[in-house]
């Protein structure tokens, strides 16, 4: 445990300051995002200025062509995700979709030409990235997707629909489609889609319960031509691209609930010191002390699990059951911590003038997105059974 917190202290001094500068900008407009469902475009550029988008990307390729990445690992990525989510769950979610689901997929699976074309603008924040896997009728059963890609001269023609975080604002998207409708998982191919490709459009933004400042919409493909060089990986090998990235996506996104839990404590601790009942601060009452103790231990145990799994991934040991476990644990605890935060504030916690309601609504998303809690339990159970 001491070693884990020593790592946190070291990374804080080297890196965390930049995350907090970007987080401060996100925090200053977090309520506006929740009300208007709009993000400030300059936030992406600001995070790019602090080198937060390309944490796991190389600085340059072997030929010296610069990408702008930091070449660091997933522990650093988790710390950035946590700090940004502490300020705004919405910005944290969009940041995770951009920096991990899109950029990291290109880093891990892209050709040299694809990396040179797309990474510099994505890493600088000039362009926003996204990943589209789910469909209106294909969520957990992603292999049943209906979006198809027909082979034509020079490329493919895509038809179908997808659901996508960052969809309304993304210029570069990783999209999965079926190149063989009869081959189940072996018929899926990953594509790099550009916003201005003819036949590609976005429907109106979804009006969501939480994460309201993170733009989500349906993507529409109507005879959208995608050149052959925009295949990510190989034709029919999209499920490998997908599955090889899912563990790392779950890991990094698990840091989002950490930030939300910390934000709950940031609200509650000053409040219980200032709020008085029966002639003394409510923080002196044992019931309140018990609640904040539960909140604190939920955060610290989840944080330890996430950081430990991140260090394992950085050393090359990517364990599916732990990548599913960290987000299962952190997500469910974040929802409970947010409920406790509301309870500590009493009636004020139920008033939108305070951020606790937003924190609860934002936290709930992590029990659904990136694989539901039920899917995560299935993964963990399956992996444990296979080990016997």
Encode pLDDT of 40-61 as tens digits: 668 899 899 989 999 999 887 7
Domain assignment present for 247: no
Q: What is the pLDDT of residue 123?
A: 97
Q: Is the pLDDT confidence value at 203 over 80?
A: yes
User: Are 119 and 11 in the same domain?
Assistant: yes
Which of 21-35, 129-143, 146-160, 343-357 is predicted least confidently? 21-35
Residue 244 lies in a domain: no
- In angstroms and rounded to an integer, the radius of gyration of the C-alpha atoms of the chain is 21
Residue 39 has pLDDT above 60, yes or no: yes
Query: In b/e form, how buried is each residue of 326-355, taking b as 16+ CB within 10 angstroms?
Result: bbbbbbbbbbbbbbbbbebbeeebeeeebb
Question: Would you state the pLDDT for residue 95?
Answer: 97
Contact at 8 Å (CB) between 128 and 165? no
Residue 11 reports pLDDT greater than 70: no
Claim to verify: residue 27 and residue 84 sit in the same structural domain = yes
Residues identified as active-site: 249
Over residues 234-252, the pLDDT tens digits come to 999 999 999 889 999 999 9
Question: What's residue 31's pLDDT?
Answer: 58
> At residue 12, does pLDDT exceed 70?
no
Helix H or strand E encompassing 266: helix 255-274
What percent of the chain is modeled with pLDDT above 70? 89
Residues 156 and 193 placed together within one structural domain of the fold: yes
Whole-number pLDDT of residue 3: 44
- pLDDT (0 to 100) of residue 15: 57
* Same structural domain, 121 and 136: no
Domain end call among 210, 238, 266: 238
pLDDT (tens digit, 9 = 90+) per residue, 72-115? 999 999 999 999 999 999 999 999 999 999 999 999 999 999 99
Predicted local distance difference test score (pLDDT) of residue 1:
46
Domain interval for residue 63: 2-128
Supply the CATH number for residue 153's domain.
2.40.110.10
User: Does 245 map to a domain?
Assistant: no
Q: Tell whether 157 is covered by a domain.
A: yes
Average pLDDT (121-139) is 94
State the pLDDT confidence band at 36, using cuts at 50, 70 and 90.
low
- Taking 90 as the threshold, does the pLDDT of residue 18 lie above it? no
Residues 18 and 120 in one domain: yes
End-of-domain residue from the set 95, 112, 128: 128
The predicted pLDDT at position 19 comes to 59
Rounded CA gap, 156 and 202, in Å?
19
pTM: 0.92
Indicate the range of 123-132, 177-186, 215-224 predicted with least confidence.
Answer: 177-186
Q: Are residues 277 and 343 in the same domain?
A: yes
**Stretch 204-228: mean pLDDT, rounded?**
96
Question: Percentage of the chain surpassing pLDDT 90?
Answer: 80
Q: Nearest CA to 101 among 253, 254, 252, 249? A: 249
Query: Is 249 a member of any domain?
Result: no
Secondary structure, 3-state, 48-95: HHCCCCCCCCCCECCCCCECCCCCCCHHHHHHHHHHHHHHCHHHHHHH
330 and 259 belong to one structural domain: yes
- Which residues on neighbouring strands pair with residue 162, listed in sequence order? 219
**CA–CA distance, 36 with 31 (Å, rounded to integer):** 9
Task: Quote the number of domains for the chain.
Answer: 3
Q: Which residue is it, tokens 């699976």?
A: 109
Q: Give me the phi and psi of 290, to 5 degrees please.
A: -65, -40
Position 280 confidence tier, pLDDT thresholds 50, 70, 90: very high
Residues 258 and 355 in one domain: yes
Q: Is residue 246 assigned to a domain?
A: no
pLDDT given for residue 61 in this prediction: 73
pLDDT bucket at 2, cuts 50 / 70 / 90: very low
Select from 97, 102, 59 the least CA-distant residue to 192: 102
For the annotated binding site for FAD, the residues are 131-140, 275, 286, 343-347, 372-374
């Amino acid at each position: 445990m001491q070693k884990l917190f020593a790592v946190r202290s070291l990374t804080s001094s080297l890196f965390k300051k930049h995350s907090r500068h970007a987080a401060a900008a996100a925090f200053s407009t977090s309520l506006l995002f929740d009300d208007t469902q709009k993000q400030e475009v300059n936030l992406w550029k600001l995070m790019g200025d602090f080198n937060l988008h390309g944490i796991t990307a190389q600085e340059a390729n072997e030929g010296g062509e610069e990408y702008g990445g930091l070449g660091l690992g997933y522990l650093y990525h988790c710390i950035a995700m946590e700090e940004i989510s502490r300020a705004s769950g919405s910005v944290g979610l969009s940041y995770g979709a951009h920096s991990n689901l899109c950029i990291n997929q290109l880093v891990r699976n892209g050709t040299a030409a694809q990396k040179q074309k797309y990474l510099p603008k994505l890493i600088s924040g000039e362009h926003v990235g996204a990943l589209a896997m789910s469909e209106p009728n294909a969520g957990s059963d992603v292999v049943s997707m209906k979006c198809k890609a027909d082979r034509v001269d020079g490329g493919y023609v895509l038809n179908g629909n997808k659901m996508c975080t960052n969809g309304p604002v993304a210029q570069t998207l990783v999209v999965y489609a079926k190149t063989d409708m009869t081959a189940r998982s072996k018929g899926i191919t990953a594509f790099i889609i550009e916003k201005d490709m003819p036949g590609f459009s976005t429907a109106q933004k979804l009006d969501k319960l939480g994460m309201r400042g993170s733009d989500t919409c349906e993507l529409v493909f109507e005879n959208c031509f995608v050149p052959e060089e925009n295949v990510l990986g190989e034709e029919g090998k999209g499920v490998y691209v997908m599955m090889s990235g899912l563990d790392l996506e779950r890991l990094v996104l698990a840091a989002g609930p950490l930030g939300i839990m910390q934000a709950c404590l940031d609200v509650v601790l000053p409040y219980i010191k200032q709020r008085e009942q029966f002639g003394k601060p409510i923080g002196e009452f044992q019931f309140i002390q018990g609640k904040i103790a539960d909140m604190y231990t939920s955060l610290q145990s989840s944080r330890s699990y996430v950081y430990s799994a991140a260090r394992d991934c950085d050393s090359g040991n990517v364990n599916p059951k732990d990548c599913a476990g960290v987000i299962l644990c952190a997500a469910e605890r974040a929802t409970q911590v947010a409920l406790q935060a509301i309870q500590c504030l009493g009636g004020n916690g139920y008033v939108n003038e305070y951020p606790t309601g937003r924190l609860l609504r934002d936290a709930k998303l992590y029990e659904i997105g990136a694989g539901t809690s039920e899917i995560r339990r299935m993964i963990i159970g399956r992996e444990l059974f296979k080990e016997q």
